[in-house]
Amino acid sequence: MDQVPTIDVKRRRPAELAAVDAACRDHGFFLLAGHGHDDLIERTWEQTRRLFAAPKPTREALRRSEEQPLGYYDRELTKRQRDCKEVFDYMQPDGPIGEARNRWPDDLPGFRETQTRFFEAMSQLAAETLALVYEAIGAPPSLARDHAVTSMTSTVRLNHYPVGDPVPNEEREGLPALADVALG
């Protein structure tokens, strides 16, 4: 039990279902393999690196606010200390909430398209994984039908943990102290 279990989501043989059941009971989580999205995940990482390496005006144009809770942010607090991280949040790109609230960079071609594909693929993978868990624990088929997965309120967060404070010196006045760790 000292290793995180890895589950192949495409296998539904009794041994794999037993492994899912054991992972849920013993760990509460597991890694996924066999999903076929490795290339998309790598493209998503590439686009994430591009966003956080983009010039400050590109990121500032996406800054979230109280009225606009999605987008870029570099001043989150945990236990009243600033986290040493930058984030970018978005919701279902083609859904009504996402259409109204998502913010996308204008000068990073391919970013939105990659994030949209990632959101769609991971939403489908979440539904497949949940179906696998239901099957592994012997839940009746009606449970899955009655608790259908919806991606409408799901959020993706891209995280960047820089070396040093992400907030420039000239903008730190009045901000809480930076924590000793990236995420307190």
Q: Are 85 and 77 in contact (CB under 8 A)?
A: no
Query: What's the mean per-residue pLDDT of the chain?
Result: 91
Q: Are 47 and 110 in contact (CB under 8 A)?
A: yes
Q: For the segment 66-86, what is each residue's pLDDT rounded down to a tens digit?
A: 999 999 999 999 999 999 999
Question: What pLDDT does residue 16 have?
Answer: 86
Question: What pLDDT does residue 48 have?
Answer: 98
Flag whether pLDDT at 1 surpasses 70. Answer: no
Q: For the segment 9-37, what is each residue's pLDDT rounded down to a tens digit?
A: 887 788 889 999 999 989 888 999 999 99
Mean pLDDT within 151-170: 92
Instruction: Provide the greatest CA pair distance for the chain.
Output: 60
Q: pTM higher than 0.85, yes or no?
A: yes
Question: What pLDDT does residue 13 have?
Answer: 86
Residue 93 CA to residue 104 CA, distance in Å, equals: 10
Question: What pLDDT does residue 84 have?
Answer: 95
Which residues fall within 8 angstroms of residue 108, CB to CB, at 6 or more apart?
Answer: 47, 50, 51, 54, 58
Flag whether pLDDT at 119 surpasses 90. Answer: yes
Flag whether pLDDT at 176 surpasses 60. Answer: yes
Residue 97 CA to residue 176 CA, distance in Å, equals: 31
Query: Closest by alpha carbon to 44, among 116, 130, 126?
Result: 116
